[in-house]
Every structure is written in C-alpha cells, then in structure tokens.
Structure 1
Amino acid sequence: LVLWTDAGPWKVTLIDTSVDLAIDAAIMRRLGQARKAELMSVHPVVDGQAGLLFIDGVLVRTLTAGVHGFWNVGRMVQIKVVDLKRQSLDVAGQEVLTKDRVTIRVNIAAEYRVVDPVKAVSMVKDFSEALYRALQYAFRKTLGALTLDQILEKKVTIDEEAAAKVRADMAEIGVEVSDIALKDVILPGEMREILNQVVSAEKQAEANIIRRREETNATRSLLNTARVMAENPVMLRLKELEALETIAGKVERLTVHNGTGGLLNDLVKLRDS
C-alpha cells in the first residue's frame, strides 16, 4: 500500500487471522463507520445466553453476552446460541395404557435449564428433544404399572426411580431438570360417562347412609323421650300441655263444656291412668 507522507503520519497494524478471527470492538466500530461491513460477520449474544463459536465446524470457545465480530477470510464461522434461563417443556396428548387396560391421554410438564452448553450441544443433536423422549418413557413406565382408579385418586406424579433416571440422564448432557409433573389426565368419552355414573351411584349411596343414620338417631331420641315420660308422670303431663298448646294455636275457637278440669284431663290424654 503506497500513501502520501504529507497526509500522515501513518500507522500500520497487522492482524494474524490464523491465530484468532475475533475482531476487537474498537476496530469493529471503525470498520462499520468506514462501511466495510463485508470484511466481517457480526453475532450478538444477549444476557442469559451463551454463544458457542465454531470455526470450520470445530468448537473453539464459549462466548459471553455482547456483540462479537469475526473476520471474513475464507473460513466458516458459526455461532450457536444456547439459552441458559429456566424453561418449561410440555409433553401433550401422550397415550398411555394403564394396568387395567384403559387407554388414557396425559399432559406432562417439566422445568429445566442448561448448565453446560458445550455438553448440551455436542453430546446430543437436540437436548430438548432428548428430554421430551426421556419424559415420555418415564411416564409410560410409571402410569403403565397403575390402574385408572389409582391414577385418578393419587393424582400421580412420576415415581422417584423414574424421575431420578430422567435427571441423571439429562445431567450427563449438561441439562438440569427440576420439577416434573403430570398436568392432565384425559379419558375417552365413554369412560367419562361410566365414571360419572359410578360417582353418582357412590354419592347416592352415601346420601342413603346419612339418611338412615339420621332416622336411627331420631328414633333413638324418641325412644329415650318415651322412657323418660314413662318413668316421670310430671314430664308426661308437661308434654300433654305442650300438645294442648299446639292444638289451641291451630283452631279458631275452643269450646270447653266441663270446665278447666276437663280441658286438662280429658281433651289431651296420651295414656290411661
């Protein structure tokens, strides 16, 4: 490069791209101002993410949050961005055959986050797909060993052995799994109708038991009252007077022909002397 000395002074900086293709931030800004963007490729990595730098298909290093520029000098530069934040994964509409041969559909949810992006990218093709398959297998194993009644009564979650295997398998590829839960159990239409009939019959039986219990208590109370009146004539007389008061309150006119003695002794008489 030939330059006029009068326009100087000039300073030349040589960059060996065989050592590192990364561009310093200040030089990257100057190239942008000079409209020489074709000399570089720019890759942003936002907070909460990790960028894996591949040069010619070889993993070189992990990039932190920021804007990263690399020289375009005939080498292939690729950046794979991995989200490090906690995420949820839903496995919806999975058909499972229970122990009593009822086919149900379940919705599963799990919380996870990537703790080692290098392992998560290099050991499996898609770590979220690997978690999806692991959850499928674990719940098939768990629910397939239970009857439909057990599943509905216990609101079953994944058993500890299956959950531990899921967490261990995912930890090997750099993924940490926290919560694993069974969100919904969806029954076939005819099975829902049968269960509704069963529940209705059970509630009706419970109502009949309660009704019989109350009738028994009422009869027992009446028997106790009769026993007290039989042993206590004064109590019996008070009951007679209460009956008389009730009758008098329901008639418009009460005619007494033989005096108050007849009113008290003859009108209301629950038993012979």
Structure 2
Amino acid sequence: MARVDLQEFQRAVLHSSGLPVRVLGPGRHRFRRRRSVLAVVDLRPALLKVAGQEVLTADGLGVRASVVVRYSVTDPLRWVLAGDSETSAVQWLYLAAQLAVRDFIGGVSAEDLLATRSSAAEVVTPRVRDAAERIGAVVEAVDLRDVSFPGDLRRTFALVVVARQEALASLERARGEVATLRSLANAARALEGNPALRELRSVLAVERTSGTVVLNVATPEGTSAPSA
C-alpha cells in the first residue's frame, strides 16, 4: 500500500483498476500502487507563460509577442481527464493562448497594435477562458506582455512620435502668438481716441521701468509747458 498526504489546496484523482475514478480531498489516503494511478492537482492560482512567438500583423509585418495566462483549476477530474499520453491539460491551455494571440495580432496592423496593446486582454481573454472551462479551469486574464517589432520599424515609429511632438509644439507656439496679437489689437483699440488712457499707460510704464516721462500740461494763458 502507498500513502499520500494532501494539503488544503490539493486534490488527487485516483485511477484504480476495476473501480470508478475518484477525487481525493485534503488529508491522508492509502491506495494500491501497482493497480492505481494517482494525479495530484494544485488548486492555487497559477501563471502560464507563453513564450514569444513570431506573428504576422494584418499588414504583413512580423512581430514577436509573449503572453501570461493567470488561471486556476476548478474541476480536478476534468483537468486530469483532459490530458492524454501526449498532451496535458496545461499544454491545451498553452495552445489556446497561442491561437488567441495569433488571431488578435493577425487582425490588426502594426500601428494599430501599438494603440490597442493595452486592451488586448479584453479580446484575447474570453477566447482562452472558453477553452479553459472545457478542461476544468478558470482564466482570470491573459496579459499581452512583450511585443517586439523589427529594428527598422521601431526607428520609424520613433521618428513618427518625434514628428508628432514637434507638430504639437509648433501648434502651441502659433496659438500663443495669436493670443498675443489679439491682446495687442484690443489694447490698440482701447487707446485709440482716448488721450487720458494713453497718458495713464505711460505713467504705468514709468513706474515699471523707473524712467522719466514728459507730459504737455496746459498753462492758464493757453500755452503748454513741459512737466515731468
């Protein structure tokens, strides 16, 4: 007889010759080693890393992308029975994530991939989740981690970003110049035909610059004399 001790986060699927398949819960169990096959399943959340694979975008550019699948097993029996002598349940989940990412990247252009990368999980996760449910697992999320573009394309994207920033800076400078000209035009209209306002403006200018201004002040005899 063999013995197995299962933790709270573990379950075991026991195949015994001539007996139905059983799922063993936490605790200590005995089984016949020669007549039985025991598969221990961990129910804790796990990460499945899908290595970088080269995928063609909709416009024919090759990029490398890797993803991480966050999942946990919910049905140990279905999880174990999903595998066979060649492919395990984890490998089925791996394949489902690969195909979902390929379909997503293959449906967008390289430029759109940069813009939609952060929202890729919203498209990819439901497909992988459906496949996981069929093999006794639940997928929390599929995160698109690393996306590598060819060197020439990365340089092109960098030049595009620089050009956009320069255009925005030029636009802001033009807006500032227009605002300044509009302010000067309003001031000119206010000063036109209003000598008192012009003299007041001159006095304010003197106060700011500590300079001297000469004003024409009318004398009682009708003549004007300079006044500082």
Once superposed, what is the RMSD of the aligned Cα atoms?
2.7
8 Å contact kept, 2:12–2:39:
yes
Q: 1:57 to 1:128 in 2, by over 3 A?
A: farther
Alignment of 1:17-56 (within 5 A): 40-56=1-17
- Code of the aligned partner of 1:262: P
1:85 matched to 2:44? The reply is yes
- The one-letter amino acid of 1:152's match is L
Distance in 1 between the 2:181 and 2:134 partners? 71
Unaligned runs of 5+ in 2: 218-223
Q: 1:122 to 1:175 in 2, by over 3 A?
A: same
Partner letter of residue 77 of structure 1?
S
CA contact (8 A) 1:57 1:76 kept: no
Deviation for aligned residue 1:163: 4.2
How high is the TM-score relative to the length of structure 1?
Answer: 0.70
Deviation at 1:220, TM superposition (A): 0.8
- Asked if 2 retains the 8 angstrom alpha-carbon contact of 1:156 and 1:182, the reply is no
Contact 1:106 1:186 in 2 (8 A): yes
Report the CA distance between 1:96 and its aligned residue.
Answer: 1.9
Matched residue, 1:34? none
User: Which one has a bigger Cα radius of gyration?
Assistant: 1
Residue 119 of structure 2 corresponds to 156
Q: Quick check: 1:105 aligned with 2:64?
A: yes
Q: Which of 179, 185, 194 is residue 232 of structure 1 equivalent to?
A: 194
* 1:129 Cα deviation after fit: 1.0
SS of the aligned residue for 1:176 comes to: strand
Per-residue CA deviations over 1:224-254 (Å, capped at 9, x if unaligned) read 10111013211111122234445544xxxx7
CA gap of 1:242–1:57, structure 2 versus 1, over 3 A, is farther
Deviation at residue 101 of structure 1 after TM alignment: 2.2
Q: Which residue of 1 aligns with 2:35?
A: 76
Contact map agreement 1:170 1:176 (CA 8 A) in 2: yes
Determine the structure 2 residue equivalent to 1:60: 21
Residue 142 (str. 1) matches residue 104 (str. 2) = yes
Tell which has more relative contact order, 1 or 2 (C-alpha 8 A, sep 6+).
Answer: 2
2:220 matched to which residue of 1? Answer: none
Q: Deviations over 1:128-184 (max 9, x none)?
A: 111111011011111111112222223231454x64443223222212222222233
Q: How far did 1:82 drift?
A: 0.9
Change (3 A) 1:71 1:239: closer
Q: Distance in 2 between matches of 1:223 and 1:153?
A: 43
User: How far off its partner does 1:70 sit?
Assistant: 3.3
Residue by residue, what CA displacement relative to the aligned partner does 1:71-129 show, whole Å, maximum 9, x if unpaired?
Answer: 56xx3333210112222222232222111222222221222222222221122231111
Name the SS of the counterpart of 2:141 in structure 1.
strand
TM-score, L = length of structure 2: 0.82
SS across alignment from 1:90: strand
C-alpha displacement of 1:191: 2.2
Structure 1 segments, 4+ long, off by >6 Å, are none
SS at 2:39's partner residue?
strand
Determine if the alignment matches structure 1 residue 117 to structure 2 residue 117. no
